[in-house]
Amino acid sequence: MAAPVALRPDFDAAVLRTLAKQSCDPDQTRRLLALATIYDGQPRSEAARIGCVTLQSVRDWVVRFNAQGPAGLINGKAPGRRAILNQTQRAALQAIVEQGPIPAIHGVVRWRLVDLIAWLWEEFRLSISQQTLSRELRALGYRKLSARPRHYAQNEHAADAFKKTSMPAWRRSPGRSAASRSRSGLRTRRGLDRRTRSRGAGPNAARAPQRRKISEPSRPTSSAPSVPLRGKALAWSCRAARPRG
């Protein structure tokens, strides 16, 4: 079994616990307390139990602590992928963009991404995609501009004859004469101010049914008048008897 890596001698358990109290990073605090147990003479397995990690992780903490001190126990940001263009290549790209293309040499009148990609390959033998080159140019402060398409046989003088003229500036319409004004402000003619009566209005109108008051005695109800009517209805419904002869 390999010998454990010894901790640096310029720290002790009391100093690490003091740094753990002052730290705002929970991961750094946990690692400092785990290493403090090693300074106390306890085994590495106890440090792994306090840090909730394996023995290999404790060894990595010891190596980082010996190399960078307490700051090495803080999680650092991953460096990520290395940039394709270095400072020299980025400065050359900025210079060629500012200079602009030469039509007799480059064959274009304005730079495109594909043209700059071809130029980088010819100058530095560097292969780069359009998306990556676009991000590099945006980081340098450049923006992609799209020119308006134009026909090669367009005649400016002939185009002016077919150009649509803009509408004249808005102006207030002149005041109308008093005779042409609307008569909405004149007085109403005589005879038109009568109110229209409904058909149910007037002395001959049917009276609306009135509600019976609570204090009024109830009227007796009787089914006597309906008896002769029922008899008549029965008599009408029967046929007259025919004499037998």
**Contact between residue 114 and residue 79 where contact means Cβ atoms under 8 Å apart:** no
User: How many residues make up the chain in this entry?
Assistant: 245
Give the global pTM. 0.39
Tens-level pLDDT at each residue, the chain (245 residues): 567 888 888 999 999 999 999 999 999 999 999 999 999 989 999 999 999 999 999 999 999 999 999 999 998 887 788 889 999 999 999 999 999 998 888 888 889 999 999 999 999 999 999 999 999 999 999 887 766 777 767 777 777 777 776 666 666 666 655 555 555 555 555 555 555 555 555 556 556 556 655 555 555 555 555 545 444 444 444 455 566 65
- List CB contacts of 4: < 8 A, sequence separation 6 or more: 44, 59, 62
Nearest in space to 126 (alpha carbons), one of 81, 80, 90, 101: 90
* Tokens encoding 233: 């209805």
Helix (H, G, I), strand (E, B) or coil at 14: helix
**Cα–Cα distance between 54 and 151 in angstroms, integer?**
72
